[in-house]
Chain A
């Protein structure tokens, strides 16, 4: 299979960056998208050209390392699929593809398709946890959790922190990411005591980073590789409002 790729090349955070055109004849329908890039990179190196940098690790859609835009769509836009799991059978011979890094003020480009997502970690550090010291926990079955609550928590907890939600949002909002953690922990009895303070702190940190505000466009839900539902944002807003009312 032959492909024409236009790839964002940027040597360093302060470099200007530009699109560069490549052609490859070695794509195969059974390859993953990243394997296609591996093969292209091997060709580039053999020609004395530096390979394209992209983040990746598990290649199983779970670590959240990978991610870039393909023709304007985060992870290529196939439902429930990270770019490491996107297979070339979805493309056809002669396709022309544009690869760009996540574009958001809060995610500065480090090199080529690699961006800095440390803002997400700072939001979790601000409140995305349950405060429990090692060794101070009661027996696991002392805390009964209705199956529906556990399932709801798990639906939200599946977030892999890849940043596709931010990249696909015209406002570059991180609300789906933040809402997912608030919903995960808030759906469980263990998470109740800190429910309000958690929402206050996480939202405050989100605002401090350079993310935009949510205007309910829903692009994030549509591109989330883990199908995190928009409801989590409603829950975040509810918890936040309740908390700000009380802590006025």
Chain B
């Protein structure tokens, strides 16, 4: 273990000492409390209304804080969390199949390939059970068994059934639960909601986060909002790849602006590829559609044994099919973790055995399950997913196997936070997918929803109280030079984007960047490719700032301008991702460096040299960012080569 590594003094993780089972209880007991009557004197900005931001804003408001909440969509109900399909994990052990908090903790640490903090993950597993209770009470219509109890399904990377679900729309139902709680607080006047408003900068005064600069997306007005603390629940940055399963508006701007104001960025190169997405159909493709991983419960993945076998799937006899996951990983079969399943699909396609028009696809076949369970059961479990597949591809998956291919789906990296979910800027908290915390180098299915809600409902409301009760916060006003400077910088940047009036559209730049990043910093990476990308990205960025064409003005709804600002940030983030990927000279989880693999082609970690979190510090325009390390220690789950055989 890399215990010889020094922790950077900037990275005070505030991990509780002592037995892990009671660590969160002790930490909570030691936290300072804000007296109920005083809570209304504090104001908190929450950016984001996904599972993380929505649940946090609602809960903080219930406690009595004055909350201002922001999202860029026209309603908080439309945050990207709405699209999550498969389910949410919780260690309830309702199935009596051997699950426990410890097992969920163990699976998550192992699934993350030993690059997450044990204490954080343990707390997450503990809280998972409260989340289900909370959501049931809110009226989330989880699937039920005939006796009226909650039903479960299994997900990748686990051998127990611990995933709770609401048909194929779990994210939607959980988000509507949080949204309704939020709307209730809006109705009560505890939350001021600002939809169609984008955060474009963070305001730091005397070293503390005290506000944000926003743009009203309808009028273009630039505003300063101040508060005693700022929370970012702004989601992941998968769209840096242009094509991803994220909603089109998902972006990195909020966390990137915070990074440039001094918040360290943790593990930017840890991105997740999802194995079951609908393959690309043409150049005009605008996004990729995920087919929930839960499908791997009943669907069997295969390709033809013979290269270039163009026969329709139902004419390929059983013995000429290669169920490669079942063969290679007999104990987990089709349910191996996402990174393993994705790389295996890439390998068979690279070997010329891919299916579909571009050869970039594998079959996900339900014919056995339909034979075994009947079409009705399959329809009940996955009806809406099958419908969605048919809408998009025109094929009926009850009759022909689905075609799937991996796509960018989730980003484990994000702003570095301590055990209290606070970034390196005091008063700036980061929750949900926007932080780097609990999933290490690979996230297990159904664990993002769990983390977002754990952060928002159950962790942040405590740690926020501790911060507010201990911090000495002077009154600040919008006339403070820091506010003027930040608002001025935002206006300047918008003016500059509108004045270029070049020849290329924003999307054309975004596509070019995305393709480069997918090729060199996607499912597999190597030093040569990463160096090439690091040389190429600044060139494209330079052309962007010289030749992009953003029509229209600022004082109106201007979707090209919104996109241009986001893409400008992606260029910078992409560079940091490649730098981090190059620096991390090992393979772990979703970060697969081709130089480091076992003879069987599995990711090979290097715990001697890389058992740490990389946290990057912005050092100025055009300067190389500084790397800080937080070594990881494992006292409970012994790091081992992951095996799903």
What residues make up the interface of A, taking CB atoms closer than 8 Å to B? 11-12, 26, 28, 30-32, 34-36, 38-39, 42, 45-46, 48-51, 53, 55-65, 80-81, 85, 87, 89, 110-111, 114, 116-118, 120-121, 124-126, 128-141, 143-147, 150, 153-154, 157-158, 160-161, 184-185, 188, 190-191
A111 touches B284 (CB 8 A): no
Contacts of A46 in B (CB 8 A): 503, 505, 549
Q: How far, in Å, is B452 (CB) from chain A's closest CB?
A: 14
- A–B complex contacts, Cβ < 8 Å, 15 sampled: A12-B556, A30-B281, A31-B282, A58-B80, A89-B394, A110-B557, A116-B74, A129-B184, A133-B62, A134-B181, A134-B457, A141-B149, A145-B148, A147-B146, A184-B139
**In the complex, A12→B218 CA distance in Å?**
9
Q: Given the interface contacts A57-B73, A57-B247, A147-B146, does A154 sit within 8 Å of B141 by beta carbon?
A: yes
Residues of B within 8 A of A80 (CB): 387, 391
From A49, which residue of chain B is reached at the shortest CB distance?
B551
A48 and B505 CA atoms in complex are apart in Å by 11
The residue on A at minimum CB distance from B134 is: A137
Interface assignment of B495: CB less than 8 Å from any CB of chain A:
no
Q: From the candidates A50, A138, A139, name the one contacting B551 in the complex (CB within 8 A).
A: A50
Contact of A135 among B166, B394, B458, B551 (CB under 8 A): B458
- Size of interface on B: residues with Cβ below 8 Å to A: 80
Find out whether the CB atom of A134 lies under 8 angstroms from the CB atom of B74: no
- A87 pairs with B394, CB closer than 8 A: yes
Residues A45 and B551 in contact, CB atoms below 8 Å apart: yes
Q: Is B14 among interface residues, defined by CB-CB distance under 8 A?
A: no
Residue numbers in A under 8 Å from B392 (CB-CB): 32, 85, 87
- Cβ B141 vs Cβ A188 within 8 A: yes
Q: Are B508 and A42 touching (Cβ within 8 A)?
A: yes
Which residues of B from 465 to 523 have beta carbons under 8 Å from A? 503, 505, 507-508
In the complex, what residues of A have CB within 8 A of residue B147's CB? 144
Of the candidates A46, A110, A131, A154, the one having the most CB atoms from chain B within 10 angstroms of its own CB is A154
B174 to chain A, nearest CB (A): 11
Residues A128 and B180 in contact, CB atoms below 8 Å apart: yes
Q: Tell me, rounded to whole Å, the shortest Cβ–Cβ distance linking B51 to chain A.
A: 13
B221 within 8 A of A: no
Which of A30, A48, A147 has a CB less than 8 Å from the CB of B148?
A: A147
The verdict on A38 contacting B284 (CB below 8 Å), with A45-B505, A132-B138, A137-B137 known, is: yes
Find the A residue at minimum CB distance from B171.
Answer: A62
* Minimum Cβ distance to chain B for residue A155 (Å): 9
Q: Which of A57, A59, A138 contacts B137 (CB 8 A)?
A: A138
Q: Is B285 an interface residue (CB 8 A)?
A: yes
A42 touches B505 (CB 8 A): yes
The answer on a CB contact under 8 Å between A61 and B145 is no
Bound-state Cα–Cα, A179 to B281, Å: 39
